[in-house]
Structure 1
Amino acid sequence: MKSAKFWGSLGVVSAAALTLVACGKGGNSANTDDTKQASKFSPVVPNKSTKEGGTVKQAIETDTPFTGIFASELTTTQTDVDVMEPGLEGLFDVDDDYRINDKGPATMKLDRKNNTITIMVKKGVKWSDGKQVVAKDLEFSYEIMANKATKSQRYTSSIASIKGMKEYHDGKAKTISGLEMPDGENGRKLIIHYDKLKPGMYNSGNGYFSENAQPYHYLKNVPFSKLESSDQIRKKPMFFGPYKVDKVVRGQSVTWSPNKYYWRGKPKLNKVICQVVSTKSASQAIKSQRFDVARVINSQWKQVKDTKGVNFVAKIPLEYSYLGFKVGKWDAKKGKNVMNPNAKMNNKSLRKAIAYAMNISQATKRYTGGLTFQIPTLIPAQFGDYFDKDAKGYDYNLKKANELLDKAGYKKKGKWRVQPNGKPLKIKILVSEGSDPSKEPITQNYIQQWHKIGLNVSLINNRLIEFNSYVDKVQNDDPEIDMFTGAWSLSSEPSPNDLYGEGAPFDMTRFVTPENTKLLNAIDSEKAFDHKYRVEQFHKWQEYMNEEAYCIPMTNSYQITAVNGKITGYSVKPSDLNDKWFKVAYVK
C-alpha cells in the first residue's frame, strides 16, 4: 500500500493518493530525553538464527471494528491495510528512498521515447491457489479502479492519464485501450501507454499506475457493483504474498497460514493472527505481552518504555501536521480551486504573525511524550535531497509577530487588534478531535499565544470537532472557517501536486497563484527527469510556500512498534516492507 495517501485519524484512503490525518499529535522539542532515546531506535529487530513454526499475534489498535474490504483498489481505511499485511504484497520492491527496483514480484521499465511503461511479472509468482499471476490480473486492477460501478476512490487524474482510461470510466469503451497485453491475457507482460511520462514514475506511490493485481480467474464472475461486498473480497480474499487467509472474524480478527505457493520460499511461521484491541488497552496489552507485535500510541510511551522482553523499533512516517488558512473555495464544475483575494486571511503579514506566535516546540515538549518534533517545511526530511535542509520554518518569536501586525496596520483597539480597514477582527479556527489527549491543551495553548499578540482567535463551536464532521466542513469550505489544523499521510513519491495544485481537491486552503502552479509543474515536468533540476525545483517550492505562509508546517512524530524479543526479521525500513512477513520468525 505504499501508493496510498490517506486522510484521517482513521486513515481514510482517498483516491490514488491521499490521506488527511486528524492530527492529534502536535510537535515538541527534539531535545527531550525521550526523543533522544527514540532517535537511537533501530528500524529492525536484532537479526538472529531462526526456527520453523510458531504463532505471531499482531495487535490492530482501533476503537471501531475494521471494515474488512480486502482489496487495495477498494479499501477505505488504514486499519484494513494493517490487517491485510501478512498476505498483501505489492508488485514492486523498493529501496529505502522508495525507488522501485527489480527485486520484487514484478519489474518495471520506462520507455521515454514511446511514452510507455512495461511491467513484467516474474515466473513463479502465484496466487494462494497455485495459479500464476498473469497480465490480466494486472489489467483487472485498473478495471476495478476505473469502473464506476465499484465506486472506487482510487480513480484519479493521475490514473486517468493512461490512454483510454477516461473512455472506459465514462462507459464509452468496454476495455482500456492504453493497457496492452502483448503475450495475451495469460502472458506475464503489461504495457501501459501514456501521452507523456512523469519523473515521479520511478518511485513507488506515484499514483500513475497500479502497484497491485487482483485474481481475475477468482473474481471475474462477481459483478463490479457487488465486488466490495462479495465473499471473495470480505471472507475469502486471495493474495500472492507469504500468507493466505484461513479465517475472518468480521471486524475483529484475521487468521493467516503460509501460502505454500509463495514465490520467495516457505514462510517460517505456522500462523499470524491480526486482532483488534482498543487504543485504551494498547499500553496494557504491550506490558502484559498479550501480543507479539503492537504499535505504541505515543501518548502512552512512558507507560510502556521499560517493558522487559520487548524490542522497540521506530521509524518517522511520511506524515506531517500543518496549520492552513482558508482563502477560497473549490469549484466543482470547473474542477479547480478558486482563491478569494478579499478573504479575511489573505494577508501575508497576518498569516506570518500567527505562525511566529505558535510556541510549537515548547507546547509539545510540555504536553506530549517527547516523540514529536517541529518541522520547517512541507516536504519531509525522509525524502532526502528533495527536502530543503536550509529551510528556516517558523520558530517562536512574539516580537516579530507583533512587528508584522503593527506594520501591516492591524492596530490594537482595546484588548484586540482590528483589521487595517478599522473593522473588528475575529478569527475562527477548526480543529478535529484526535486519539491523543494532548490535542486539546496544545490547541488551547496556541489560542492563548494568539491572544498575547492581540488576535481574537476562538474555536468554532468553542470545542474540538468530531472527525467526520471536521472532514465535511473542511472539504466543503464551511464559511465559518478562517483557519484549521490538519495533517497529511503522504505517498512515497514526493511530488506535492496532488495536495497543492490548482486542480487538487486536497488543497484545502484553496490557495492558488500562477507562481505556485509554475513551480509545481516544474517539479513534474519533462526537464525534472534530471534529478538535479528536480531537486532545485523542490527547494524553490518549499522556499515559496514558507514565504507565502498559506500552509504552516508544524510537526511529525516517531512511530514506535513493540516486538516480542523472541522474534527476528521484523523491520519498518521501506526496503523491507514488501516481504517483511516472509522474514518474521522465532529465534532458536
Structure 2
Amino acid sequence: MKRKFITVVIPSIIIASLLSSCTNTSNSTAAKATKVSSLKDQYIKASLPSKNPEKAKNRKDTFIAAISEPGGVFLPYFYDNGWDGNATDPIFPSLVSTDEKGNPIADLAEKWDISSDNLTYTYHLRKRLKFSDGSPLTSDDVAFTLTLLDDPSYSGSFDISTCYIKGSTDYKNGKATSISGIAVVDPLTIKITTEKINPLNLTRLGGQVLSKAYYGKDYKKGNLDYLKSLYSRPLGAGPYKLDKYIPGQEIRYTANENYYKGKPKIENFIFKVTSKDTNLQLFQTGEIDSDSFSTDKDTVDQLENLGFANIRISTVSDYGFVYMNNKKPYLKDKNVRQALIYGLDRQKIVDVAYKGYGEVANVPTSPLVLSYTTDGINSYKFNPEKAKKLLEDDGWRLNSNGIREKNGQKLKISYLTSKNTDQTIPIAKENYKALGIDFEPEIMDFNTLVEKLNKGDYDLAAVRTSGLVDPNDSVEEFSSKKTSENVSGYFNPKVDELISEGVNTLNVKKRKAIYKKLYKELSDDPPVILIDYRKGLKAWNSRIKGMENDNFAGVSSTNLSKLKIEN
C-alpha cells in the first residue's frame, strides 16, 4: 500500500501504480465512472502516425515518459514525495498488483489463499524469481520487508499496525524477537496471520518486496538510518533497474534481464522532468513519448492535429484540495475553516483551471470510488456573507485597515503552492480580501512544500491526492492516530472512530454506510478545503504500442514490460 501521496496541483503524470490498497470488495463500482462535467471519456487514435517527428523515430530503443519533481528517495515505504513513488515503481513489483480498474492481479505471487475467517493470507510466489542482481527472491524477503515495516524506528508513511499482524505489537515493544504471525512455510510460500479483519490487507501485506540480502545486510532492530545510503541505489525485481538519476532533469533505467516476465522489449526507459510550460513542445518535437497535459479544448485540438498522438480524456481518480493547518490557533475553530470554504469561489477556480473538464469537489474521495456519495453533504456554495458571519461569530472583527483581528492577532494566512500558474491565487486574493483576511501566497518547489507540510510549517497548502481506489485511501490521514500522515493536525474522535470502522468489515454495503456518515462529519467539521474533480488529458506517441487499452496510459511495473516500439 502507498499512502495518499502529496502531488502537485496538476501533475504531469499519475500512473496506475498509485492505485493501491484495493480488494475485491472495492471493485463492484470501480468501473462505473461517474462523469466529471457533461463531457464523456474519449480515446482519440492517432490519425497520421507517419507524421512522427524524426527525433522520436530515431529513438528505437528508448521510451521517455514525463515526471514532475522526484526527490531522490527511491525506496518503497520510505519516501514522502509521490513522484518518488512513480520513480520506484519500475524497479519494485508487488506480490499482488492491481489492474486499471483497481482489481487485484497476480504479480510476484502467482496466487494466494485467504482463510474462511479472512484473517490468514497465504501467498504463493512464482518459481525462480530474481532480483536484478541475479540473487533469488523468496518468502524470506517478504518476511524481512514486513518485519522492517514493524521496526520500532520505522517512521515512514506505511502504517503496518492497521494490518493487525499477530505478534506485531510484541515485536515492536521488545517482548518478542520475531513476529509470530509471519510464517515462512518454504521459499515460495509465506503465511501471514492477522488478528482483525481489514479489507485492504490483500494488497497491503502483498506489497512491494525488498531484498533481505541487500537491504537487511546492516539491519539492527531500532536503527534504520543505514537505509538512507541506499535511497539512491535501489535494488528490485521489476522490469527495469536504475541506471542514473540526474536531479531536476531525468531518471534513467535499463531493462532487467532477470525480470520474471522476461527482459522488456524496450531496452531503455527514462522519466524526464517536465513542466506545464514546456511539456507540449517537448511532445510535439518528439523529445518525450508520453505525458499529461492541461485539459482544455485548445490543447486537445493541438494534440489531435499532430497526427501521431494517441489521446485519452478520462475521469481521474483523484481530487485537488488545500490543506488547512488545524494546529494553528486561528484554524482550530471550525467556524474559521468553514468561512474559508464559503468565502472561496471554488466554481470559478474550477472553471478557469479546467474550462469545462472539471467540477467542484465536496466529498474527500473520487467519483470512481465505491463509497462516493453527495447525499446529505454540504455543497458549500460560494457565500461571502455567510463566511463573514462565521468570522464575526468567532470574534474576528475588522480593524481600521480592513483586516480582521481577534485578541490582538490579525487574520493573516499563508498559502503554499508549487505551481507557478496556480489559478487559486488571484481568486483567493480577491475573495479573502473581501472577507478581511490577509492572504499571502508563496510559490516554491514541490519538495520544499512537502518538507514544510511534514514539519507543520504552513497555514494553507495546495496539493492533489494520488490515484484512489479504496474509500480508505483518501481519509485515513485524517485520523489523529496516524501521526506520521496527519499533516493537517486534524483531530475529531468521531472521525477516528468512523475511519477505523470503515476498514473493519468486508461488507460493501456496510462500508458504504460508514463512509456516508464519515463524509457528513468531515463536511460539518472540514479538515481541508476541497477544490475539484477533473478530467485528465494524456497523450502518447503512437509508436509506443501496448498503452492503448490502459486507461492510465501505463508507466507501471505491471505494464512497462508489455510495451514495444514500432515506427
Give the TM interval when normalised to the shorter protein: 0.7 to 0.9
What is aligned with 1:14?
A: none
Does residue 192 of the first structure (1) align with residue 171 of the second (2)? no
What is aligned with 2:145?
A: 141
Does residue 458 of the first structure (1) align with residue 445 of the second (2)? no
What is aligned with 2:563?
A: 584
Q: Conserved in 1, the CA contact under 8 Å of 2:471 and 2:515?
A: no
What is aligned with 2:113?
A: 109
CA distance in 2, matches of 1:415, 1:458: 11
Pairwise CA distance, 1:191: 1.3
Does residue 119 of the first structure (1) align with residue 134 of the second (2)? no
What is aligned with 1:21?
A: none
Instruction: Please give the residue correspondences for 1:498-509 in structure 2 after superposition, counting only pairs within 5 Å.
Output: 498-505=476-483, 506-509=485-488
Q: Conserved in 2, the CA contact under 8 Å of 1:316 and 1:558?
A: yes
Pairwise CA distance, 1:503: 1.4
Please give the per-residue CA displacement for 1:257-291, whole angstroms capped at 9, x wherever unaligned.
Answer: 253x5444564334434444566543321110112
Q: Give the partner amino acid of 1:450.
A: Y
CA distance in 2, matches of 1:86, 1:163: 31
Q: Give the partner amino acid of 2:437.
A: V
What is aligned with 1:522?
A: 501
Instruction: Please give the residue correspondences for 1:191-210 in structure 2 after superposition, counting only pairs within 5 Å.
Output: 191-202=191-202, 204=203, 207=204, 209-210=205-206
CA distance in 2, matches of 1:220, 1:423: 55
What is aligned with 1:59?
A: 65
CA distance in 2, matches of 1:542, 1:500: 12
Q: Conserved in 1, the CA contact under 8 Å of 2:95 and 2:107?
A: no
CA distance in 2, matches of 1:79, 1:94: 19
Structure 2 residue matching 1:507: 3-state secondary structure = coil
Please give the per-residue CA displacement for 1:375-416, whole angstroms capped at 9, x wherever unaligned.
Answer: 121122121x30114345222234554566678787777785
Pairwise CA distance, 1:537: 0.8
Pairwise CA distance, 1:136: 0.7
User: RMSD between aligned alpha carbons?
Assistant: 4.2
Please give the per-residue CA displacement for 1:199-254, whole angstroms capped at 9, x wherever unaligned.
Answer: 3325x4xx5x2501123355554556544424xx745x543333455x33554442
Does residue 242 of the first structure (1) align with residue 239 of the second (2)? yes
Does residue 531 of the first structure (1) align with residue 529 of the second (2)? no
**Partner of residue 345 from structure 2, selected from 350, 354, 359:** 359
- TM-score of the two chains, using structure 2 as the length reference: 0.76
What is aligned with 2:16?
A: none
Distance 1:300 1:294, change over 3 A: farther
What is aligned with 2:416?
A: 432
Distance 1:168 1:45, change over 3 A: farther
CA distance in 1, matches of 2:323, 2:454: 13
What is aligned with 1:397?
A: 383
Q: Give the partner amino acid of 1:459.
A: F
Q: Give the partner amino acid of 1:445.
A: I
**Partner of residue 272 from structure 1, selected from 269, 274, 288:** 269
CA distance in 2, matches of 1:467, 1:322: 15
* Worse overlay, 310-319 or 495-504: 310-319
Structure 2 residue matching 1:289: 3-state secondary structure = coil
Does residue 211 of the first structure (1) align with residue 215 of the second (2)? no
Q: Conserved in 1, the CA contact under 8 Å of 2:331 and 2:337?
A: yes
Distance 1:278 1:423, change over 3 A: closer
Pairwise CA distance, 1:432: 1.2
What is aligned with 1:335?
A: none
Does residue 175 of the first structure (1) align with residue 181 of the second (2)? no
Does residue 513 of the first structure (1) align with residue 492 of the second (2)? yes
Structure 2 residue matching 1:393: 3-state secondary structure = coil
CA distance in 2, matches of 1:300, 1:468: 31
Does residue 41 of the first structure (1) align with residue 42 of the second (2)? yes
Pairwise CA distance, 1:7: 2.5
Distance 1:585 1:380, change over 3 A: same
Q: Conserved in 1, the CA contact under 8 Å of 2:291 and 2:540?
A: yes
What is aligned with 2:27?
A: none
Q: Conserved in 1, the CA contact under 8 Å of 2:163 and 2:194?
A: no
Q: Conserved in 2, the CA contact under 8 Å of 1:60 and 1:82?
A: no
Q: Conserved in 1, the CA contact under 8 Å of 2:46 and 2:308?
A: no
Distance 1:272 1:442, change over 3 A: closer
CA distance in 2, matches of 1:111, 1:217: 31
Please give the per-residue CA displacement for 1:56-96, whole angstroms capped at 9, x wherever unaligned.
Answer: 321343467x52x5432444544444344444322213244
Structure 2 residue matching 1:93: 3-state secondary structure = strand
CA distance in 1, matches of 2:69, 2:492: 41
Please give the per-residue CA displacement for 1:486-541, whole angstroms capped at 9, x wherever unaligned.
Answer: 5443664321553111212333443433432332232123xx32210110111111
Q: Conserved in 2, the CA contact under 8 Å of 1:360 and 1:396?
A: yes
Q: Give the partner amino acid of 1:386.
A: S
Q: Conserved in 1, the CA contact under 8 Å of 2:197 and 2:506?
A: no
Pairwise CA distance, 1:139: 1.2
Distance 1:451 1:300, change over 3 A: same
What is aligned with 1:6?
A: 5
What is aligned with 1:382?
A: 368
Structure 1 residue matching 2:310: 3-state secondary structure = strand
Aligned residues: 522
What is aligned with 1:156?
A: 159
Distance 1:178 1:586, change over 3 A: same
Distance 1:219 1:352, change over 3 A: closer
CA distance in 2, matches of 1:45, 1:472: 41
Pairwise CA distance, 1:163: 3.1
Structure 1 residue matching 2:306: 3-state secondary structure = coil
Q: Conserved in 1, the CA contact under 8 Å of 2:284 and 2:306?
A: yes
Q: Conserved in 1, the CA contact under 8 Å of 2:371 and 2:512?
A: yes
Pairwise CA distance, 1:314: 4.7
Pairwise CA distance, 1:127: 3.6
Structure 2 residue matching 1:489: 3-state secondary structure = coil
CA distance in 2, matches of 1:347, 1:504: 21
Distance 1:173 1:59, change over 3 A: same
Distance 1:469 1:243, change over 3 A: closer
Does residue 321 of the first structure (1) align with residue 305 of the second (2)? no
% identical aligned pairs: 17
Structure 2 residue matching 1:554: 3-state secondary structure = strand
Instruction: Please give the residue correspondences for 1:488-499 in structure 2 after superposition, counting only pairs within 5 Å.
Output: 488-489=465-466, 492-495=469-472, 496=474, 498-499=476-477
**Unaligned segments of structure 1, at least 5 residues:** 12-16, 19-28, 330-342
* Worse overlay, 547-556 or 219-228: 219-228
Q: Conserved in 2, the CA contact under 8 Å of 1:178 and 1:192?
A: yes
Distance 1:550 1:85, change over 3 A: closer
Q: Conserved in 1, the CA contact under 8 Å of 2:344 and 2:428?
A: yes
Distance 1:362 1:551, change over 3 A: same
CA distance in 1, matches of 2:522, 2:273: 40
**Unaligned segments of structure 2, at least 5 residues:** 12-19, 22-34, 50-58
Q: Give the partner amino acid of 2:238.
A: G
Q: Conserved in 2, the CA contact under 8 Å of 1:43 and 1:573?
A: no
Q: Conserved in 2, the CA contact under 8 Å of 1:145 and 1:154?
A: no
CA distance in 1, matches of 2:332, 2:81: 34
CA distance in 1, matches of 2:430, 2:276: 30
What is aligned with 1:443?
A: 425
